[in-house]
Structure formats: structure tokens, C-alpha cells
Amino acid sequence: MSEQKIIQRAQGMCELCKSEQALSLYEVPDSPVSGYDSTLLLCGVCQSQLTAQTEIDPTHWRCLNEAMWSTTPAVQVVAWRILQRLNHETWAQDLLDMLYLDDTLSQWAHAGGNAADATPTLDSNGAVLSSGDTVHLIKDLNVKGVSFTAKRGTAVRNISLSDNPEHIEGKVNGTRIVIIAAYTKKA
């Protein structure tokens, strides 16, 4: 791997936030390849939050609205992983809805999760739910903060998982809401 090639690709800036401060190489975990295609040039702030050395700051990651469109696969994968961690933020959910990863990149991105350590999110029948699944509501739900009731049988497509395994998130009537997973049935 040529460090100089990576610096040239990044134009001497963090490949996520464009900072020019405290830059160093970062090997993206669980990559199917190694070297140039799996290594990014990142600033100290991005690296410390990615490696959980410091608490994640949602405001810092608003830079992903540009970075996620990078043609560098490793940037796309890291952007997806960070947006997944921030899926409680409305802006992050919107970016995730727009972000497309092909099958290979999606497998790489999902490999970076700690899925084995996490408690699974289950529907009313005990089926394991995953991000991107479609579920149906099994009862009418009064949605707080808006003037509608999510009716029984409503399909909620492309759900997102939250940090709480008892909750999922999805759009109903164009509004992103949090739903108790036990009130859903996997389609």
C-alpha cells in the first residue's frame, strides 16, 4: 500500500469531513480487501469517534451528506456505518434513505457491526427484524406529535433498527416514527 497514493486520492484532506488537521491512515475494519481500497485518510476527530475513543458527536457527522457520495468504496461503507449509529437523528435517517450500496459494499458495511453482541429486535411472532425489512402493524397506533393514527395492517417498508432492541423506526404516512417492534409482524 502506498501512503502517498491515498494522500493524493484524498487531496490532503480527511476523506469524511475535509479537515486538514491531524491526518493519519485508517484501515476500515472487516474489509474483504486490504491496502489502498480499504484504507482512508482521516482526521483525528473522525478517527477518535470511529474507534469509540471519544463520544460520537452528531453535529460533526453532518459532513456525511457530501462524503457519502464519494466514489471511494471505503468512504461509502464508513458513511453507512456512522449513519446507522446516528439513525436516531432525523437528518441521518434521511441520508440513509438516499444512500445506496451495491451488494458487495452492503455486505462489507454490515460486517462491521457488532451484531453477534447485540440483542436482536423481534416482531410479535419472535421473528428477527433487520434494517430494510418490511413489517405490518398488528394494531392501531396513536402517533404522538402528529394528527393521525397508524392503522392496523399498514405496511412499513425499509425499517431501521434503533439502539433499543424493542423499537424500530419507519415511515408511516410520510412521517418517520418510532414503533414498538412487538406491535409489528414481519412481511
Domain ranges of the chain: 3-111, 121-186
pLDDT confidence band for 116 (50 / 70 / 90): very low
Please name the amino acid found at residue 184: T
Tell me the pLDDT band of 118, cut-offs 50, 70 and 90.
Answer: low
pLDDT value for 54: 79
Report the DSSP beta bridge partners of residue 149.
Answer: 142
β strands within 13-143, DSSP E:
24-27, 39-42, 121-122, 128-129, 135-137, 141-142
Radius of gyration of the chain (CA): 18
* CA atoms of 84 and 165, how far apart (whole Å): 14
pTM (whole model) above 0.75: no
What's the grid cell of residue 124? 410479535
**Percent over 90 (pLDDT), the chain:** 54
* Residue where the block lists cell 404522538: 144
Q: Which residues pair with 175 in a beta bridge?
A: 172
Q: What is the pLDDT of residue 143?
A: 87
- Percent of the chain at pLDDT exceeding 70: 96
The mean predicted confidence, pLDDT, of the chain is: 89
Cell of 116: 453477534
Backbone angles phi, psi at 72, to 5 degrees: -85, 115
121-186 CATH choice from 1.10.3720.10, 1.10.645.10, 2.30.30.40, 3.50.50.60:
2.30.30.40
